[in-house]
Structure 1
Amino acid sequence: MSNQKLNIQWFPGHMTKAKREMQSMLSMVDMVIELRDARVPNASKNPLIDELVGQKPRLIVLTKIDKAEDEETKRWIQLLSNEYTVVVGVDVLHDNVKKIISENALFLMKEKRERQIKKGMNPRAVRCMVCGIPNVGKSTLINQIAAKKTLVTGDRPGVTKNTRWVKVNKDIELLDTPGVLWPKFEDEQIGILLAITGAIRDQVLPLEEVAYAALKYLKAYFPERLQEAYGVTIIENNYKLFLEIGRNRNLLQKGNEVDYNRTIETFMKDIRANRFGKITWERTDAVHE
């Protein structure tokens, strides 16, 4: 394993544009719905969103709970909740996300709407900006909510081909935004975690570095799952362990030698295919909010 320090910077021009658009659109909404990956709830947080959102009410939706550990997800929900923030976990493909989003958005905006009613006003639909880093399930969630007939496009300020309004019901409207990553990873561990879960392309980081980090974590927390998946004896030396995995998976090349690169690639594919079961790659007791 290389000891070379990772220098991770990945901020394409369209992401800079997306940040400007998000700033302009925040004035149009009442609250923010931020999607994060339940497997990496801290790493999938975008610091730019904290900076832009300020004290607006926020609903944090932890997606992919079907791939994360149930008890750890509960602990994350408790850790991330505060007076301005409600946190829920969802399986976007199987839960009633329309109901979950609607109920929690109305709960967050309840006091404001009640004040409007007392003043004799008829509260308009709550406008929510939906944001999150790429590959966190935002498009899937929006599509689950939005039948084609509910898509709203038009000349509202800030609406571009990269954004759309989605009418959930008479009380809730969503403003979809492009997925945004931040200018650089100050903490290389965040980049590693996002690479493990596939939030950033494998070409961005050295795949071997990512695989070694994932193997180390599995050895620490789920050694029995490694043994069950590959029929290996857990040993300290990661390079030799990968060779044993490659041999047991018959990932061989000429001369009956283990194809090391193919083994690394196969290992990462196995992680993303949930071969090891539900795994939360960040633990609440290791994160200081």
Structure 2
Amino acid sequence: MLINWYPGHMAKAKRLIEANLKVIDVVIELVDARIPLSSTNPMIAQFIGQKPSVVVLNKADLADPAVLKEWKAYYVSQGRRVMLLNSRDGKGVQQLVKLVRTLAEPKLARWRARGLKNRSVRTMILGIPNVGKSTLINKLARRSAAKTADKPGETKGKQWVHIGDQLDLLDTPGVLWPKLENQVSAYRLAATGAISDAAFDMETVLTQLVAELSQWYPQLLTARFKLDALAADPMETIEAIGRKRGCIVSGGAVDLEKTYKLILKEYRDGKIGPISLDRVGEFADKGRDSQ
């Protein structure tokens, strides 16, 4: 299942970002806390270059706290500034604003030395689709400044948003990379909603997801779906969930399509529990695309 999803507006977004980076003081790189490196577009490191930046692990409330702690330590070991954030309730947003101002201060000091005392801090949020950029912007601006959606690719063009005293933010569309070589990362991106549901095979993604949940979070899976035990075959577990939830078609067979969507929604909404799919050991020594 090689997922390739790079529509025309993605290429346009890439050009837009590159054209506007020269006026940006600090870059906020937003990733999904459940899959930090799978949701990291490798092109973003090239965009950022030597600019001050902070990597924000968004949707931290949906991730496994123990694994999240390991990821935070990993980013620090890489020399990155890192923050955890739950953009739904705004926890951590004001700390992010303070950090952006701190990172921008050396450049602002140079502007002041040249007599430009009223120069605003300019920041940009970069990330893949559906990682929570618009929701975060609305929390920063304390109003509905950016359109939010549950499907990727909703932000079409750039817009400047004033988010505080002498602090402006450039919203940009999410960008996926042209080809997803790493199939583990590809399915995890699909599972979390970064890729349109129409662009992948539901059975393949759900089989992989249930296999990993069975390995790492068996108690959460059995508790949520009231299962006595988990089968060795993920498909048997999926069918058991379908029967428990009444996803049955005429003749008594399990409605697999309905069951896939049910499991996927409950995972994405955090109803199964706090879950992390990416683990530091998978990536730290190998690199992102070498699994």
TM over 0.5: yes
The alignment status of 1:39 with 2:34, answered yes or no, reads: yes
What's 1:156 paired with? none
What's 2:272 paired with? 276
The C-alpha deviation readout for 1:82-133, integer Å capped at 9, x for no partner, is 6863110111122355522221112223344445556776372221111111
Question: Which of residues 242, 249, 253 is equivalent to 2:249?
Answer: 253
1:1-289 correspondence runs (5 A)? 6-81=1-76, 85-95=80-90, 98-114=93-109, 122=117, 124-147=119-142, 162-230=157-225, 231-288=227-284, 289=287
Task: Go from structure 1 to structure 2 and tell me whether the alpha carbon gap of 1:70 and 1:202 turns closer, same or farther (over 3 Å shift).
Answer: same
Q: CA deviation at 1:138?
A: 0.4
The C-alpha deviation readout for 1:240-272, integer Å capped at 9, x for no partner, is 222222222222112222222322222212212
Distance 2:39 2:243 in 1: 34
The C-alpha deviation readout for 1:179-215, integer Å capped at 9, x for no partner, is 1111110211111011111111111110111111111
2:80 maps to a residue whose letter is T
What's 2:151 paired with? none
Structure 1: 5+ residue stretches without partners: 1-5, 152-159
For the residue of structure 1 that corresponds to 2:186, the secondary structure is helix
Contact 2:242–2:259, Cα closer than 8 Å, also in 1: yes
For the residue of structure 2 that corresponds to 1:128, the secondary structure is strand
Contact 1:192–1:210, Cα closer than 8 Å, also in 2: yes
Contact 1:86–1:108, Cα closer than 8 Å, also in 2: no
Task: Go from structure 1 to structure 2 and tell me whether the alpha carbon gap of 1:140 and 1:149 turns closer, same or farther (over 3 Å shift).
Answer: closer
Distance 1:137 1:30 in 2: 21
Distance 1:78 1:97 in 2: 18
Distance 1:208 1:127 in 2: 44
Q: Which has the larger radius of gyration?
A: 1
Distance 1:127 1:84 in 2: 22
Distance 1:15 1:52 in 2: 15
Distance 2:185 2:139 in 1: 29
Tell me which moved more, 32-41 or 73-82. 73-82
Structure 2: 5+ residue stretches without partners: 147-154
For the residue of structure 2 that corresponds to 1:186, the secondary structure is coil
Alpha-carbon RMSD: 2.4
| TM-score, normalisation: structure 1 | 0.87
Contact 1:98–1:168, Cα closer than 8 Å, also in 2: no
1:283 maps to a residue whose letter is R
Distance 2:164 2:263 in 1: 44
Distance 2:247 2:170 in 1: 47
- The size of the alignment, in residue pairs, is 276
Percent of aligned positions with the same letter in both sequences?
36
For the residue of structure 1 that corresponds to 2:198, the secondary structure is coil
Task: Go from structure 1 to structure 2 and tell me whether the alpha carbon gap of 1:245 and 1:148 turns closer, same or farther (over 3 Å shift).
Answer: closer
Contact 1:57–1:84, Cα closer than 8 Å, also in 2: no
